[in-house]
A and B are shown apart, each in its own frame.
Chain A
Amino acid sequence: MKTINNIIELVGWEAIKLLIGLIGVLVVVVVNALVLTWAERKVSGHMQRRIGPKEVGPCGMLQPIADTIKLIAKELLTPQNVERPLYFLAPVIVFIPVMVSFVVIPFDAYLQVKDINVGILVILAFSSLSVLSILLAGWGSNNKYSLIGSVRSVAQNIAYEIPLLLALLAVVLMTNSLSLRDIVESQKGLWYIVSQPIAFLVFFIAGVAETNRTPFDLPEAESELVAGFHTEYSGMRFALFFLAEYTNIFIICAITTTFFLGGYHGPILPGFVWFFGKTYLLVFVILWFRWTFPRVRFDQLLNFSWKLLIPVSLLNLIVTGGILKL
């Protein structure tokens, strides 16, 4: 006990809190990815009238753990002609935005690593790093499919980041704050999905596009690009991209919950149950999208953002500002 007190005195309580928070974040990231890989296969299975994984554990629930062991045990292949530093750097960078985003998300009234007064900006600013990582992966792989995949991904991300920001801005206008906690607290009475339905729709569509999920999964369109930007990756490096993708899905759904579905507010049950319940409901919707909508063509994808989503979200912003001023 004495040594613990000494350590706390040495580095300060704040640093210890941050460390505990980061460990907690890592646990959430890994568990979320395990649950989502299982859920994805199970949901896909049932939607196609199959059963999905069922051999390992009850209802196949231990399947993701078996997969993880397989991925860890795999040999790390490094193709001969890759640009080595970039090839190794990309799967590492993909994780920075993911970790940073978790720091500011309020899971419950007191379950948040740190409330920063520019919280939402932190998430949005660091999310651009995942684009950079995809770019580096595609470029460093020295493979034409990877390169095409990453170029597509960047074009898509640039196009959909604008409606995403504009939709969130409408909510920020209503709360007068960039802190995620304040935004959740202001939804105690009325959720923003009721007062900002257009912003919610625009944000969710743009969010699905940002995570490169179907119907916007052109960067990894397997029928034409093998696997897109991560074609040349295997073993744990591939697993890192996978982990980041599933965590990104979770983050987009968590931000949607925070901004439009009242975050941790809800009757009877404790806050974090509501938070995770709402978030995983949205995750289910995204998994559902995959077996409902066919992949869009690239020109359709860009036209949809530039000609529909951006004007609509701009109009929504103007109307919101006007009403608030009245």
Chain B
Amino acid sequence: MINLGEPIFILIVIMTVAGALTTVLSGSVIYALIGLVATMFGIAGLYVYLNAPFLAMMQILVYVGAITILIAFAIMLAGPFYKRPKEWTGIGKFSAALVVSVISFLTFFTIIMKVSWTEGKGAFNLLTKDIGRALFDRYAFPFELISLVIVVSIIGAIMLAMFSRGKND
């Protein structure tokens, strides 16, 4: 029997990385967005491989269904400025980007190395129920704190929008 899993896994990884590269390198915002969608799908595919279909579907529902659509909406409202020349800026911006990416890479690297990961082949069987329990029982406080942060940012956004709207009239 051919193992179909491996080629599909490689395809998913290629899709994730290619999407990420498109997002970063593309000169046009809308192509960057499509790259982002591809990356999100790739990550969802990786979740499926980790035996977490619920997380995978949530990834697509939230990141593809809500976030990228909202970004696309914002791009459209901002006006059709595609076919804009690519901006390869000077050494200043480049070095700043380099510093930021190195710092974030090191942060993630240390966190990933520190956490003790549960190993197991197929033994890692997470049920949707367990996720719900974890969110509303063990991690209830951080969960609620996150929603508080979101409420604050929504109110802030509304305030900003109302303020600028009043100015224009």
Contact = CB atoms under 8 A, between A and B. Distances in A.
A198 B161 CA distance: 34
Nearest to A124: B61
B1 A11 contact: yes
Interface stretch (B11-19, B65-73, B110-118, B149-157): B65-73
B77 to A, nearest CB: 8
Interface in B24-57: 30-31, 34, 37, 53-54, 57
A103 interface: no
Interface stretch (A67-75, A150-158, A215-223, A293-301): A150-158
A154 B82 contact: no
A142 B58 CA distance: 33
A118 B57 contact: yes
Given A121-B58, A178-B128, A11 B72 contact: no
Contacts of B72: 132, 135, 154
Contact of B30 (A12, A15, A86, A154): A86
A306 to B, nearest CB: 14
Contacts of B61: 121, 124-125, 128
Interface in B55-90: 57-58, 60-61, 64-66, 68-70, 72-73, 76-77, 80, 82
Interface residues on A, range: 35 or more
A131 B69 contact: yes
A232 interface: no
Contact of B73 (A124, A151, A178): A151
B35 to A, nearest CB: 12
Interface in A123-167: 124-129, 131-132, 135-136, 138-139, 142, 147, 150-151, 154-155, 157-158, 161
A139 B80 contact: yes
A12 B1 contact: yes
Given A121-B61, A125-B64, A155-B73, A10 B54 contact: no
A154 B73 contact: yes
B2 interface: yes
Interface string A1-22: 0000000011110010000000
Interface string A74-86: 0000000001011
A124 B57 CA distance: 9
B96 interface: no
Contact of B65 (A86, A142, A161): A161
Nearest to B52: A118
Contact of B60 (A126, A136, A161): A126
A116 interface: yes
B4 A15 contact: yes
Nearest to A126: B60
The interface size bin for chain B is 20 to 34
Interface string A157-191: 11001000000000000000010000000000000
Contacts, number: 82
A116 B53 contact: yes
Nearest to B57: A121
B73 A128 contact: no
B58 A10 contact: no
Nearest to A131: B69
A132 B2 contact: no
A151 B60 contact: no
A122 interface: yes
A133 to B, nearest CB: 11
A132 B69 contact: yes
Contacts of B54: 118, 121, 178
A195 interface: no
A292 interface: no
Closest 5 CB pairs of A and B: A128-B65, A121-B57, A125-B60, A125-B61, A125-B57
Interface of B: 1-2, 4, 30-31, 34, 37, 53-54, 57-58, 60-61, 64-66, 68-70, 72-73, 76-77, 80, 82, 128
Given A132-B68, A178-B54, 12 more contacts: A12-B4, A86-B30, A118-B128, A121-B54, A125-B58, A131-B69, A139-B80, A147-B80, A151-B73, A154-B76, A158-B66, A178-B128
